[in-house]
Amino acid sequence: MTSLVEKLKARTLELRKARSPLAPTFQMVMADALSQAKVKGLVDFNEEMAAQAINRGINGAKETLSQAPGDALTIEKIEALTAVLPVPATEDAVRAEAMQWWTGVVTEAMPRTYVGEMMKHLMTTFGASLNRKMASDIAKEILG
């Protein structure tokens, strides 16, 4: 299974070689992710940064589409960027993993304020496919 970072880099290179009109969009997304990494002092970007940059690219294209409805290239950009993103984790899968983690770590003395720890576990398990808002709501629900 290829990672989101590898997938994004490969697709960008493929589009550049083909001189596709989508190549600049993918290069912009890569530059955005790389700039996030540099801000954090990293040499290269990770899955989370790539997913955030792709989502910003999609949102920008959607904004353009709202101003110019029916623009074929913008629609193609949205579809191409969306195709690179991993399939989102389902609410049931996230809930099951969260419950499994919670039952594995709970002790009598442990306070029920471990939302951050559960979120770290879920982000490690699901990676870029995790909807953080949904996961946070599930974690808060489980932990009370």
Round to whole Å and give the CA distance between 60 and 26. Answer: 13
Tens digit of each residue's pLDDT, the chain (144 residues): 468 888 889 999 999 999 999 999 999 999 999 898 888 888 888 888 888 899 899 999 999 888 888 888 889 999 999 999 888 888 888 888 888 887 776 655 455 567 788 888 888 888 878 888 888 888 888 776
CA-based end-to-end distance of the chain: 36
Are residues 102 and 112 in contact, defined by beta-carbon separation less than 8 angstroms? no
Query: Which residues are within 8 A (CB) of 23 and not within 5 positions of it... i.e. 6 or more apart?
Result: 12, 15, 16
DSSP string for residues in 15-73: HHHTT-TTHHHHHHHHHHHHHHHHHTT-SS--HHHHHHHHHHHHHHHHHHHHHSTT-HH
